[in-house]
Homo-oligomer: A and B are copies of this chain.
């Protein structure tokens, strides 16, 4: 059974499962920020996925990126797998704006997360679920 890393679980809300990835919403209202986690234990690098799952992951990265861009009107999408802190393979998909808190720098480590209120979070997750279904 797939086990989501504890820190990823603590920092996010679940949105939905795609074919390869679980989609999570980062609990930070500073940026519309999703995370894709391939639902396989022990996967750290992209190369740890088999070739077909790598290809499906790319499709999901593009799909999620496009949905988030369309929903938010972002100026640029940032798509990245770093994993220096949490090694479980996860891909950040972040909607960036020219007036956001970190622009043009990457978002990591720039600002303290500003959590969602319960209602805003539930509503955003619902919209995302509809768009990604």
Chain A contacts to B: CB under 8 angstroms: 44-47, 51, 54-55, 57-59, 61-62, 65-66, 69, 76-85, 87, 96, 103-106, 108-109
Contact = CB atoms under 8 A, between A and B. Distances in A.
Copies in the complex: 2
Contacts of A104: 84-85
A62 B54 CA distance: 9
Closest 3 CB pairs of A and B: A80-B80, A84-B104, A58-B58
Contacts of A54: 58-59, 62
A1 to B, nearest CB: 25
Given A45-B65, A57-B58, A80-B80, 11 more contacts: A44-B76, A45-B77, A46-B65, A54-B62, A78-B83, A80-B106, A84-B96, A105-B108, A105-B109, A106-B106, A106-B109
